[in-house]
Structure 1
Amino acid sequence: MANKKETYESTLAHVNTFSSPSELRITDIRFADIVGAPMHCSLIKVYTNQGLVGFGEVRDGADKVYAQMLKPRLLGENPCNIDKLFRRIKQFGGHARQGGGVSGIEIALWDLAGKAYGIPIYQMLGGKFRDKIRMYCDTDVEGKDTGTAMGKALKKRMEKGFTFLKMDLGIGQIIDEPGTLSAPLGFLEEWRAANREYWQARRNPNVSVEELRRLKNRQYEYNNIAHPFTGIHVTEKGLDMLEQYVAEVRAEIGYEVPLAIDHFGHIGVEDCIKLGRRIDKYNLAWMEDMIPWQYTNQWKRLASAVSTPLCTGEDIYLKENFKPLLESGAVSIIHPDVLTTGGILETKKIGDMAQDYGVAMAIHMAESPVACLAAVHVAAATENFLALEFHSVDVPWWDDIIIAPKLPKPLVQNGFIHVPDAPGLGIEELNDEVIAQHLHPEVPGLWEPTDEWNHYVGNDRLWS
């Protein structure tokens, strides 16, 4: 009898007890906000009537209200009808962080569908082109930021097995050196003061609400001046210093390993061209987000003036908004974030569209393992995929956010993530003990009820 019982229980362990996907219904949506992973992330749980829970995540630094407002539009619906529900909610998303709510919920729907049917997400997307996903590693410098110091930091990444690297290069590295930048007199000092005073005030409990609001509004105004309108220019001395920085990095890491560059600062296309021509010779993988993605004609000017591949896309919502850049021939790599595009299926569609134009797809990612695994499934199922970003090498508890016995730990090994075969994203549960230790101090709740959103109603139809 003991053997029969053991056989029955071992067999039951392989049976999907959630065997009524057609009857699955969404019953609740809740959130937990964490910091330091490396960014502020709002994790999502979508609950169902069969005990299945789907996991999602709002884009790093975004407001979770973009996801909360979707709850009354999803309660009672079958999460397996992913495309139907996405078409219902996508009007409530937008570019950059405003796409974070729709995208995060869409990921949770895929997770639920995979768990309901017992298959991994990549298989529902048509199968995989690869068994492991190449990660490219963003890197910062401790102490004085010199090219040699950055080169040594990047070499440490290579020693961990990373085969694709990225670093920052821009006006932030030369702003303290006299004679490197020109701008309307006093403008740079005012901009820096606006940022400094706001963040100092946030840490000071004695600052009034009115004063904090004034400082926040001032900081917002400076930080939202787009590149063509700042009046900031890089001098020959500044260009010399930035070129020397890249030369020092290549002297440390060599020329064989791909090296991408980001965060140039708010400078116009003419200065981007001057800088790009200076660093073309250093065999860079790409130059990223040199100007806002909306300025298609400026991207064309830039592409015709430099030989280094150009890359953008992390702030673009929905497939159709990538098309002007692809049609113009201005970019060699598109760079969507699964938590901005609209989610998993939209990112897959974007990659497939880019392939028709001979353009590769890298994926931007600066979030928790939830968003990371969503991107892994997309990367596995998209043929023209190049590399997936990873910001959390130096976050020791990053892997502990999830409970996933069928996944390797650490998730990133020798610069790659193996594509999981477990159902859905591959995550069995989120680790509430770890999450509780890293809750955002200003948003401390752990999966608290969101009943106040249950009955919001509105006429959402976009036509009469």
Structure 2
Amino acid sequence: MKITDFKLYQVPPRWLFLKIETDEGISGWGEPIVEGRAYTVEACVTELMDYMIGEDPRHIEDHFQVLYRGGFYRGGPILMSAISGIEQALWDIKGKYYNMPVYEMLGGAARHDIQVYSWIGGDRPQDVGAAAKEKADAGFTAIKMNGTEEMNYIDSYSKVDAAISRVAAIREAVGDDFGIGIDFHGRVHKAMAKILVKELEPYRPMFIEEPVLAENLEAFQAVANHTTIPIAAGERNYTRWGFKQMLTDGVVDIIQPDLSHAGGILESKKIATMAETFDVAVAPHAPLGPINLAASLQLDACTPNCIIQEQSLGIHYNQGSDLLDYLENPDLFKYANGSVKIPEGVGLGVEIDEARVIEAAKTGHRWKNPVWRNKDGTFAEW
């Protein structure tokens, strides 16, 4: 079997889909995307596919080695996201060829379903108590929210109080056994993060995410020394080498590789296995499209230390198009009792409505990350 062609589709709200075709009529889908850099990743995929045309798509490990190491310069969000989408599509082809789900080729199922959480509150969270209650009434057992808006190195305690009051409102609305993930999105600096985590402890969050920027591991250690709340990070880490120091430093309790950024399904499996040796849980990052989520569920299926799965249904970024809009089998992501069943279909298990994708790609998107500034005009992390 040989790869013969590929197609790339930029579709709203902010996604990039890849279809790889073979001479045996089997095709596979992947989602190579960096949010806000779709055109850049598209160019990278196109360059990498120069090598892939004519190759056997089943040789996934070797293709990863060549695409990652063969260009001499390695890593980073653009290259790794391009490789991730290609790798997902190769697994989709391989699973269809052998008539089995991807997770069956990675050791088989270790579970029958996995808990999912839903986003509330937007980039600048508000009315989160009512929103959390709405999600609980819809059957979810956990939510995630942005913890705060922009915050300077040293900032007002009123921002701290506002963040705490929002979490308190959620806990009051949904009770003690409901999971609350609080994403600081790297917006907070060390001094303010230490204050926030201490103030949040009485509300028993499920985890706090990126309390400081992931590259500041020494600041992670300072925050970890100030709290018993589990700390999560990893959406901006790439390959097992990008997670190695975070794990050896012991500064996180949950890692969050994104299967469209970290290197794909097999690389994320390797990362998760590394984490298991450090007694660290995995919660794949997935605020993207349906192919990314389908790939994530393949990892969840065969990875015992995966504990919960992010998903983007109804997320504030999905304006005009949502998670299920490009699927012929939307029941794949049917949530019940706060969980989703592990897919049973072949490959990634996702059936893409290609006609809908082609039509949507005529519109495309120009989604960009917002640029935030502090009151004094200095740049603020989004």
Q: What do residues 151-210 of structure 1 show as CA deviations (whole Å, max 9, x unaligned)?
A: 1101111122111211111134xxxxxxxx7xxxxxxxxxxxxxxxxxxxxxxxxxxxxx
* Contact kept in structure 2, 1:67 and 1:105, CA below 8 Å: yes
* Contact kept in structure 2, 1:45 and 1:55, CA below 8 Å: yes
Tell me which residue corresponds to 1:287: 208
Tell me which residue corresponds to 1:416: 339
When residues 276 and 435 of structure 1 are mapped into structure 2, their CA distance, relative to the original with a 3 A threshold, is: farther
If you compute each CA radius of gyration, which structure gives the higher value, 1 or 2? 1
When residues 439 and 385 of structure 1 are mapped into structure 2, their CA distance, relative to the original with a 3 A threshold, is: farther
Alignment of 1:174-185 (within 5 A): none
Tell me which residue corresponds to 2:66: 88
Alignment of 1:279-358 (within 5 A): 279-358=200-279
Q: What do residues 109-157 of structure 1 show as CA deviations (whole Å, max 9, x unaligned)?
A: 1011111111110000000111112211111269x954xx201101111
Tell me which residue corresponds to 2:25: 51
Alignment of 1:397-412 (within 5 A): 398-404=323-329, 408=331, 411-412=334-335
When residues 233 and 265 of structure 1 are mapped into structure 2, their CA distance, relative to the original with a 3 A threshold, is: farther
Q: CA deviation at 1:255?
A: 2.0
Alignment equivalent of 1:77, drawn from 55, 60, 63: 55
When residues 442 and 246 of structure 1 are mapped into structure 2, their CA distance, relative to the original with a 3 A threshold, is: closer
* Contact kept in structure 1, 2:122 and 2:146, CA below 8 Å: no
When residues 141 and 43 of structure 1 are mapped into structure 2, their CA distance, relative to the original with a 3 A threshold, is: closer
TM-score by length of 1: 0.72
* Contact kept in structure 1, 2:184 and 2:208, CA below 8 Å: no
Q: CA deviation at 1:245?
A: 2.2
| RMSD of equivalent CA atoms | 2.2
Find the aligned partners of 2:260 and 2:21 in 1 and give their Cα distance: 20
* Contact kept in structure 1, 2:84 and 2:264, CA below 8 Å: yes
* Contact kept in structure 1, 2:3 and 2:20, CA below 8 Å: yes
Q: What residue ranges of structure 1 are gaps of 5+ in the alignment?
A: 1-23, 173-180, 182-230, 444-464
Q: What do residues 62-119 of structure 1 show as CA deviations (whole Å, max 9, x unaligned)?
A: 3322211111111110000000111110246633354210000000010111111111
Tell me which residue corresponds to 1:426: 349
When residues 440 and 366 of structure 1 are mapped into structure 2, their CA distance, relative to the original with a 3 A threshold, is: farther
Q: CA deviation at 1:434?
A: 5.3
When residues 162 and 80 of structure 1 are mapped into structure 2, their CA distance, relative to the original with a 3 A threshold, is: same
When residues 59 and 141 of structure 1 are mapped into structure 2, their CA distance, relative to the original with a 3 A threshold, is: closer
Q: Does 1:375 align with 2:296?
A: yes
Q: CA deviation at 1:238?
A: 2.5
When residues 145 and 258 of structure 1 are mapped into structure 2, their CA distance, relative to the original with a 3 A threshold, is: closer
* Contact kept in structure 2, 1:137 and 1:389, CA below 8 Å: yes
Alignment equivalent of 1:107, drawn from 77, 88, 94: 88
Find the aligned partners of 2:362 and 2:167 in 1 and give their Cα distance: 38
When residues 60 and 243 of structure 1 are mapped into structure 2, their CA distance, relative to the original with a 3 A threshold, is: same
TM-score by length of 2: 0.87
Q: Does 1:237 align with 2:161?
A: no
Specify the SS of the correspondent of 2:194. Answer: helix
When residues 286 and 251 of structure 1 are mapped into structure 2, their CA distance, relative to the original with a 3 A threshold, is: same
Find the aligned partners of 2:128 and 2:61 in 1 and give their Cα distance: 44
Tell me which residue corresponds to 2:2: 25
Find the aligned partners of 1:108 and 1:432 in 2 and give their Cα distance: 18
Which structure shows the higher helix fraction? 1
